[in-house]
Structure 1
Amino acid sequence: MIVALEGKTLVVTGGTQGLGETIARLASAGGSEGIAIAGRNAERGGRIADELSRPGRPVVFIQADLADPAAPAVVMAEAIKRLGRIDCLVNAAALTDRASLETGTIDDWDRLFSVNARAPFFLMQAAVADMKTRRAAGAIVNILSVNAHCGAPDLAIYSATKGALSTLTRNIANAHLSDRIRVNGINMGWVATPAEQEMQARTLGKGEHWAKIAAADLPLGRLLTMDEVAQLTLFLLSDASGLMTGTLIDLEQSVLGAPPRGIA
């Protein structure tokens, strides 16, 4: 299914691989008027931008490390310069480094919060400023995580960053209702993104077939796909989602508050 985004420009962070790239590709297929993908990998970002660009529908790459406090303003200023405006923003970039209460350090805290919470805040600030200046409607989607509800012990700091962004999603949605700027979030379940593959297979030493083993214990026998998350993202950006704003969608194979499987 292709969700139509005709006439809309968008900025996608983390757009050089994984979910961000998938979102950019589907947005391009959906007729987006222009896309700016932001990421660290210049070679890959440039290649994706060249591949997706069409006459009158540019796709541009903006190199940025969102751990840099100045990066959000640079990304958004460059996107406006090259696309003319920002209609939609997707905050897909995130770090998933492990850190529990017992092992977490100040460096872990600062690194994860800088990319996962601080950068999205200032990216949204710039997007909303552009939309308000033009008195135009807009849409923002934040890629969150089901871990925001609690998270595994070794994801304490990561989970906290997503919890912070969840609150910001609703706060900013409420603050800009009258500006016709919609802000929604997706609490994403387990997806075998390239970053997760690196984390599970090599960093955590679970081997290249970790996803198949993990899937066997899930209710539907598989992990979520990046395409499923991307389709929902585009729906929330599109006019098809109507007035939806301040919504946090749990895209997961469980129901919050339900007892664990096997417990009556």
Structure 2
Amino acid sequence: MIVALEGKTLVVTGGTQGLGETIARLASTAGVEAIAIVGRNAERGARVASQLTRPDQPVVFIQADLAEPAAPAAVMAEAIKKLGRVDCLVNAAALTDRASLETGSMDDWDRLFSVNARAPFFLMQAAVADMKARRAPGSIVNILSVNAHCGAVDLAIYSATKGALSTLTRNIANAHLADRIRVNGINMGWVATPAEQEMQARKLGKGEDWAKAAAAGMPLGRLLTMDEVAQLALFLLSDMSGLMTGTLIDMEQAVLGAPPRGIA
């Protein structure tokens, strides 16, 4: 099966590193017409855009801090200006800061919700408006987390942001069925992204080899890879996923509702 995105334009937030960059790179090999990657780091964004750009496939970088209230609308306006239209959107940008019920602050709440829930909502709002104005179909993929089901104790606020985006994914999918705009989400399991490396190795002090220990404790003896998640994202963006919409896929080494291993 070949997943193809010929003739489609794509906007990827968090596209300057990690999973977002991996999705953009994979999309560039799937025949996508043009890509806009969104991120905060100008040097990194310019480098990735330059690496991916081909004569018949422009890749543009849009610098933005999605924590800013005006950023989502500005990003989509710039993307439409540079790409001509938006056919596909991937909301991959997110903050993963730790905060439990006992340690969470107002600042934690506002910062995490602004990037992880508010920004995707208004990015989708602008993307859907462009699609509807052209009476064209579209596809949106939100990168969620298995933590949306509950989450670790120190991920209370982060988990709540992903739970909110999970509900929005289904709500917006339902609202725009007749517009032929599909919205799906991936509840991603543990992946050693650059942001997770920074969190685990340095902020949490687990050392640079934390992923080896983490992998050893997983059922399949490894973590998910960014390529695996990116491939699923492209399938959901493409016509290969048919009528799928409002679908939330758990991409994790566990089955929801099953007892923990070792418990009969």
TM-score normalised according to structure 1 size:
0.99
1:199 and 2:199 aligned: yes
What amino acid maps onto 2:242 in structure 1? G
Aligned identity (percent) is 88
Whether 1:30 aligns to 2:30 is yes
4+ residue runs over 2 A deviation? none
In the TM superposition, residue 2 of structure 1 has moved relative to its aligned partner by 5.9
Q: Look up the equivalent residue of 2:26 and give its one-letter code.
A: L
| RMSD of aligned alpha carbons | 0.7
Q: Please give the alpha-carbon distance, in whole angstroms, between the structure 2 residues aligned to 1:2 and 1:63.
A: 32
Counterpart Cα distance in 2 of 1:249 and 1:37 = 24
AA in 2 matched with 1:3: V
Unmatched segments (≥5 aa) in structure 1: none
Structure-1 separation of matches of 2:124 and 2:40: 19
1:141-170 alpha-carbon deviations (Å, 9 max, x no partner): 000000000000000000000000000000
How big is each residue's C-alpha offset from its partner over 1:101-157, in whole Å with a ceiling of 9 and x where there is no partner? Answer: 000000000000000000000000000000000000000000000000000000000
Q: What is the rounded CA distance, in whole Å, between the counterparts of 1:150 and 1:144 in structure 2?
A: 13
Counterpart position of 1:237: 237
Q: What residue number does 1:167 align with?
A: 167
Measure the CA separation in 2 of the matches of 1:158 and 1:95. Answer: 8
**Distance in 2 separating the partners of 1:111 and 1:184:** 24
Partner residue, 1:6: 6
TM-aligned CA distance change 1:2 to 1:25, over 3 Å? farther
Conservation of the 8 A alpha-carbon contact between 1:140 and 1:182: yes
Secondary structure, aligned partner of 1:109: helix
- List alignment gaps of at least 5 residues for structure 2: none
5 Å matches for 1:26-105?
26-105=26-105
User: 2:194 & 2:53 partners in 1: Cα distance?
Assistant: 23
Matched, 1:107 2:107: yes
> Structure 2 length normalisation: TM-score?
0.99
8 A Cα contact 1:80 1:86, kept in partner: yes
Aligned residues of 1:2 and 1:29 also touching (Cα < 8 A): no
Contact 1:2–1:26 at 8 Å: present in 2 too?
no
